[in-house]
Amino acid sequence: EAQVTQNPRYLITVTGKKLTVTCSQNMNHEYMSWYRQDPGLGLRQIYYSMNVEVTDKGDVPEGYKVSRKEKRNFPLILESPSPNQTSLYFCASSPRSGANVLTFGAGSRLTVL
Amino acid sequence: SQQGEEDPQALSIQEGENATMNCSYKTSINNLQWYRQNSGRGLVHLILIRSNEREKHSGRLRVTLDTSKKSSSLLITASRAADTASYFCATDARDDYKLSFGAGTTVTVRA
């Protein structure tokens, strides 16, 4: 089944403890992106990648890192999480950037205490 | 930055009624998409309309696009309880490869 898989789905952590949210897609998509969703703010883009080894900042990149060493994987790294990073995170992919339909993962709900 | 803004923020209708929501955006676009999100889950693509199209249909969904007013509308006809969800518009700006989402319209369909 064509899908975007995120892990973990739920995580409670403490301030400053590094964590990684993994994202993997099995559709050979070139474009991958991370969003965070907060009440009243909709989805805001954190980082995106147009292909392997090509990443760029979205609208809210502060406090996050990403890497794209392989086409299928696009992990989101929080080096030193803070409570304002408590959010619902979505990974998404599409065949290429631009006018393409995004396939979303099921989401990762992160709480930073 | 957020490009699209949906209106209204929330909508409650009776089963069988039509639901209409609007999206306004700021800059010229290549395409506009609508997505649905069931409570806390991933977004699911509904329909894409290109900047040179004015209207598009998919099942009970009808989308219009008015590029002169920089706005789009999504109409769900004969709504069902299963249509209860949040609906987001997403725009793909002319000079940008990012897809920007609005804050969404939450639709509740009462049985």
Chain centroid to CA B84: 14
Which of A6, A29, A102 to mutate to probe the B interface, most B CBs <10 Å?
A: A102
CA-CA distance, A43 to B90, in Å (whole number)?
A: 10
What residues in chain B have their Cβ under 8 A from chain A's Cβ atoms?
A: 1-2, 30-31, 33, 35, 40-45, 48, 50, 88, 90, 92, 97-104
How many Å lie between the alpha carbon of A59 and the closest alpha carbon of chain B? 6
Which three-class secondary structure state does DSSP give residue B81? helix
Task: With beta carbons under 8 A apart, name residues in chain B contacting A59.
Answer: 1-2, 98, 100
How far CA A19 is from CA of A3, A13, A65, A78, B56, in Å, comes to 23, 8, 11, 5, 43
Residue A96 is predicted with a pLDDT of: 80
Q: Give the start-to-end residue ranges of the domains of chain B.
A: 5-110
CB-CB contact of A81 with A87 (8 Å):
no
pLDDT digits (tens, 9 = 90+) for A22-36: 999 999 999 999 999
Could A99 and B45 be called an inter-chain contact, meaning their C-beta atoms sit closer than 8 Å?
no
Amino acid code (one letter) for A22: T
CA-CA distance, A34 to B21, in Å (whole number)?
A: 26
- Low-confidence residues of chain A, pLDDT below 70? 98-99
B49 to chain A: closest CA residue: A99
CA-CA distance, A38 to A78, in Å (whole number)?
A: 17
The reply to whether A98 touches chain B by the CB within 8 Å rule is yes
CB-CB contact of B29 with B95 (8 Å):
no
Burial of A56 (0-12, 13-18, 19+ CB in 10 A): middle
The reply to whether A102 touches chain B by the CB within 8 Å rule is yes
Amino acid code (one letter) for A77: I
pLDDT at B58 over 60: yes
Q: Report the CATH fold assignment for B5-110.
A: Immunoglobulin-like (2.60.40)
CB-CB contact of B49 with B65 (8 Å):
yes
CB-CB contact of A41 with A49 (8 Å):
no
User: Confidence band (pLDDT; 50, 70, 90) for B92?
Assistant: confident
User: Confidence band (pLDDT; 50, 70, 90) for B106?
Assistant: very high
Could A109 and B40 be called an inter-chain contact, meaning their C-beta atoms sit closer than 8 Å?
yes
Mean pLDDT of the region B103-109: 94
